[in-house]
């Protein structure tokens, strides 16, 4: 089957500029190592801290943030269902975090032009995981700890240890855009 032959790259975090620059829109990757989990409220706090000149609870240089708000873990489980949330809500905060060394973001859906520009300027990538595959993706998270903002509940800042977490590069550091390019071959209807 063709899909079995599609190349998949294995990547370990943290990421260097060289790793980021080698990635292209449409690349399928399996990510292992530490990634951080954060969504709206944690992003707001991080950017507010930086605006006040404070240091963040984690050093973002070379790191990857996953946009996720999991369901509560059942007793004995590492984490509940943990698929990606819509990335656009983080657009207002992402350029600031990218300027502080963030190298990757995992979510789903379109990003703003300012984020795409920041990817090129700071050498970083935006990836998507399959939305609605929260049960499957949770299996790739081997350990989950709250590292800051515990009062935010499911919106706290998490530290995840992941093993072969599947994602696809949507926007690379060279201007490549899977959302724009991928549909061209299948588009028969163009709106006026």
Partner 1 sequence: MRVIPYAEVVAATRQLCLEAAIRLPADVWEALRAARQREHSPLGRRVLDEILENDELAAREAVPMCQDTGTAVVFAELGEDARVEGGLSEAINEGVRQGYRDAYLRKSIVGDPLRRRNTGDNTPAVVHVDLVPGDRLRLTLLPKGGGAENMSRATMLAPAEGERGVRAFVLETVEAAGPNACPPVIVGVGVGGTFDTVGLLAKRALLRRVGERHPDPYYAAMEEELLEAINGLGLGPMGYGGTVTAFDVHIEAAPCHIASLPVAVNLQCHAARVARAEV
Contacting positions for partner 1 (CB under 8 A) = 2-3, 6, 26, 28, 68-74, 80-83, 85-86, 88, 108-110, 128, 130-139, 153-154, 166, 168, 178-179, 181-189, 191-192
Q: How far is the CB of 127 from partner 1 (least distance, A)?
A: 12
34 forms bridges with which residues in the sheet?
Answer: 161
Q: Which residues face 35 on adjacent strands?
A: 160
Q: Smallest gap, in angstroms, from Cβ of residue 10 to partner 1?
A: 17
Q: Can you read off the two tokens belonging to residue 138?
A: 């949770």
Note if 122 is an active site residue.
no
> Cα(116)–Cα(25) distance, rounded to whole angstroms?
12
> Is residue 135 helix, strand or coil?
helix
CB of 174 to partner 1, least distance (A): 18
C-alpha span between 116 and 170 (Å, rounded): 10
Of 83 and 95, which has the nearer Cβ to partner 1? 83
Nearer to partner 1, 153 or 175 (CB): 153
Side-chain-side CA neighbours of 87 within 13 Å: the count stands at 24
Give which of 44, 55, 53, 49 is closest to 93, Cα–Cα.
44
Which residue's CB is nearer to partner 1, number 49 or number 179? 179
Indicate which residue of 43, 100, 122, 174 is catalytic: 43
Q: What is the rounded distance in angstroms from the CA atom of residue 113 to the CA atom of residue 169? A: 17
Closer to partner 1 by CB, 4 or 51: give it.
4
Give least dist CB 63 to partner 1, A: 22
For the residues of 65-109, what is the DSSP string, one character each? EE---PPPPPTT-S-S--PPPBGGGGTTTHHHHHHTT--EEEEBS
Q: Please list the active-site residues.
A: 43
């Amino acid at each position: 089957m063709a899909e079995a032959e599609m190349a998949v790259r294995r990547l370990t975090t943290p990421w260097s500029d060289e790793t980021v620059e080698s990635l292209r829109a449409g690349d399928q990757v399996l990510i292992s190592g530490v990634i951080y989990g954060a969504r709206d409220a944690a992003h707001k706090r991080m950017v507010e801290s930086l605006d006040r000149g404070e240091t963040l609870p984690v050093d973002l240089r070379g790191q990857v943030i996953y946009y996720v708000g999991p369901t509560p873990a059942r007793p004995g489980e590492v984490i509940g269902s943990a698929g990606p949330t819509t990335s656009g809500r983080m657009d207002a905060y992402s350029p600031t975090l990218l300027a502080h060394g963030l190298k990757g973001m995992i979510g789903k859906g379109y990003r703003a032009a300012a984020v795409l520009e920041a990817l090129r300027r700071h050498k970083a990538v935006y990836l998507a995981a399959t939305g609605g595959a929260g049960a499957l993706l949770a299996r790739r998270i081997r350990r989950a700890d709250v590292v800051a903002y515990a009062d935010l509940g499911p919106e706290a800042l998490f530290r995840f240890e992941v093993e072969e977490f599947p994602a696809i590069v949507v926007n690379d550091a060279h201007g490549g855009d899977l959302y724009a390019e991928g549909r061209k071959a299948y588009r028969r209807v163009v709106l006026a």
